A and B are shown apart, each in its own frame.
Chain A
């Protein structure tokens, strides 16, 4: 399932990385903060919505390490952020999609206003396809179900494909094997 997911997601310009453990995944995300130059100034922030993977993580410590990293996602911070990190509940293998219950405003802000969206998903939560997803999730538990397939794109001018029009220009998917039943 993962291989298909990765192939399909990469076909629509998403970047897919797989890690066996949570800590490896976290290390990768931190490395991304470093290479992207996350800093405490507008346009360089990183916002991270509260999510299961952060359980047991010393957020203060991490914020000290990256002064631009904010865990309290507001509209202004998200708008001025370079990276937004959110945890997604599901993946869809046959389209390379990540899916999330984004009922909470922070989830939508972090994933739609940032320049780079880092989406964390448990490898085990990759479902085969759309029908399987709609069987798994029901609107009674999820007022805003967001499906994201690759970065924002448009072809409205002369049919030339251009990435990153209103939403993120990059979608980095971090698949973690031992995230377990984190959704």
Chain B
């Protein structure tokens, strides 16, 4: 459970209308601009190359660091490999002492933020000035960056005007171009006086010993030109093998970071260059480890080293855009920030921030380093749980979920005594339809009769071919009517539907809470039940469950070391298919067809996170609905999370609510009277939202909209 202090920082951020407004507007604009920037480019291919280059580099970190050192040294640079932050700080402080450095100008560098270099140098009596405008602003404000690319995005022009006014002792207006001129003038003097320039490095090319610097303002050029000493602090993950490897990264980075084709300035520096007085510059390159090689040795987390720090994962994150960067801690923010904090700082420090991730997968979809950020965050969760053990309450809950009979018995009991059960503290952690904790969204009552009982009363024609239906808790206990429609459709296609009664929770709640042993037991029960009879397909109308059956059982077994179960899990995976993909296939095969000439009016479609981003089914439901006779009017941000995220909406109702509100607004703005989706969880969230909101919009699972439209 999150601490009060953490909850308070989340609350404070959410209440900061300026912050959420600025981030909201920015993320909307970003989505459009990024699309334009990548127009005509095969993004998948490009990021495949970036990931391959960075992945190789992570696996050969030591070797490349050595090669880089040799190459850069041959060109006259001094290369120092530092293991700890302390070593970096001491190296630079010593250098300053030795060379009599009094004034330093810095170009933006996350690595130096990571180790709090400025504080250390200032304590030695050295003047240190950030020169990137955003960094300078937060330096003057005594704050930390709230975004990796736009460190001061949380501040208003008025706040900046106040800061600058204080700095130059003159009352300034909030006119942005004028404020920028003030910064130019002030910092120009500092550039000209500086004895040392400190930069980061966006890449360190091993083959040639080159440092790449990517900026828009031109401050890195001045930092590396005017002072006679240049120190570059570069994380080991910035290494790439070859000169030519710079190209794909330079193509991807600006497009992903700021939607530019290329930043205004890219400098590729190989060894010292002459100063303007003819002397040679002194160039020091510090290759900083700080747990990076440890990360590279971790079979799961080495992936995080593929990050090129473009921050596009922040820009598309529905949670980040609500709470901003400062909630995440001190240096790196958002999803990738959570991962980097867990490593560069310590696992424990990510305990609270990791829970902010709703697992929507938006970041994974845009990451040019091809990092599966949500999966790595789950892995952090798992390791935290492993390290600290599960709380007593959680243990009790999961032992309940783990025992189908007790679990289902409780769900049945709950339908009888809903008010009573929902008051019980721990029941909230069960799949959330048990809880009434929610002021913004009505929750469905548990059905009088679960689908498993209804199923026995369905009259199915006698058919040869069989499909097993995996209901999932929501359809089974809250929306049995969806199951009934699904059976009707599959019967029409010539399949008999079986409903193996021993199926139980798909394990998603346990997995999302880091309780992998429980999830593995859930998997085993389900595999046994679903493979007990020979069937053509296993179908589910819940994308979260489908993902569990198709991908996560395998991952969970691998992660807890139950390799004996893998063949069965794989067999289940190949049979499992989501509802829309299966029906689309049946239509294509001519087994199903729609009534002709139907004109059913306008609907809009909400993409559920797992369906679109894990199962990659975004066209199938749309095509089916169109063929059935609906006209689809796309809504803005149709694939943005609705804020449900399983028990997330219970842990962070304050975040889930604004995400939902935005979704409802987008649905209404589409003008459609009906919104379709393929996930009963989304149905629950959005239906509940509209119930509170009062707008008369029908919320339907695709299965409900299709069932009566078939011939």
Contacts and interface: CB of A to CB of B under 8 A. Distances in A.
Interface string B191-228: 11000000000000000111000001111011011100
Given A134-B247, A147-B266, A166-B131, A108 B225 contact: yes
Interface in A112-140: 112-113, 130-131, 134-135, 138-140
Contacts of A89: none
B152 A156 contact: yes
A130 B265 contact: no
B250 interface: yes
Contacts of A139: 75, 208-210, 243, 268, 270
B638 interface: no
B276 A106 contact: yes
Given A146-B265, A148-B265, A165 B153 contact: no
B150 A159 contact: yes
B272 interface: yes
A89 B67 CA distance: 29
Interface string B140-167: 0000000000111101110010000000
Contact of A134 (B75, B244, B270, B276): B244
Interface residues of A, number: 52
The interface size bin for chain B is: 35 or more
A162 B210 contact: no
A142 interface: yes
Given A95-B261, A156-B137, A143 B273 contact: yes
Nearest to B25: A159
B225 A109 contact: yes
A166 B187 contact: yes
Interface in A127-183: 130-131, 134-135, 138-140, 142-160, 162, 164-168
Contact of A166 (B217, B243, B272): B217
A156 B192 CA distance: 23
Contacts of A145: 267-269
A159 B274 contact: no
B225 to A, nearest CB: 4
Given A103-B274, A149-B261, A165-B133, A138 B267 contact: no
Interface in A90-109: 92, 94-97, 102-106, 108-109
A153 B264 contact: yes
Contacts of B250: 130
Of B22, B134, B268, B274, the most chain A CB neighbours within 10 A belong to: B268
B273 A167 contact: no
A154 B180 contact: yes
B261 A144 contact: no
Contacts of B265: 146-149, 152, 167
Contacts of A167: 217-218, 221-222, 264-265
A17 interface: no
B263 interface: yes
B273 A148 contact: no
Given A146-B221, A146-B267, A105 B244 contact: no
B262 A97 contact: yes
Contacts of A103: 273-274
A149 B267 contact: no
A75 interface: yes
Nearest to B275: A105
Interface string B253-288: 000001011111111111111111000000000000
B218 A143 contact: no
A159 B225 CA distance: 28
Nearest to A160: B176
B278 to A, nearest CB: 8
Interface string B218-256: 110110111000000000000000011011001100000
A147 B262 contact: yes
Nearest to A92: B262
A39 interface: no
A110 to B, nearest CB: 11
B168 to A, nearest CB: 16
B184 interface: yes
A131 B250 CA distance: 10
A156 B132 contact: yes
B179 interface: yes
Contact of B217 (A105, A108, A138, A152): A152
Contacts of A153: 216-217, 264
Given A143-B75, A159-B150, A149 B131 contact: no
A82 interface: no
A45 to B, nearest CB: 15
Contact of B262 (A95, A156, A157): A95
A143 B150 CA distance: 29
B177 interface: yes
Contacts of A109: 225, 276
B26 interface: yes
Contacts of B188: 79, 166
Contacts of A162: 176-177, 180
A156 B271 contact: no
Contacts of A155: 150, 216, 258
B485 to A, nearest CB: 47
A53 to B, nearest CB: 22
Given A144-B268, A153-B264, A165 B243 contact: no
Pick the 5 closest A-B CB pairs, nearest first.
A167-B218, A156-B134, A139-B270, A147-B266, A156-B133
Interface of A: 8, 11-12, 74-75, 79, 92, 94-97, 102-106, 108-109, 112-113, 130-131, 134-135, 138-140, 142-160, 162, 164-168
22 contacts: A94-B261, A102-B273, A105-B276, A134-B243, A134-B247, A143-B273, A146-B265, A146-B267, A147-B262, A147-B265, A149-B263, A150-B264, A152-B265, A155-B150, A156-B150, A157-B133, A158-B176, A159-B26, A160-B157, A162-B177, A165-B217, A166-B222
Given A130-B250, A154-B133, A167-B217, 16 more contacts: A94-B261, A95-B261, A102-B273, A138-B208, A138-B243, A139-B268, A139-B270, A148-B265, A149-B264, A154-B180, A157-B180, A165-B184, A166-B187, A166-B218, A166-B219, A167-B221
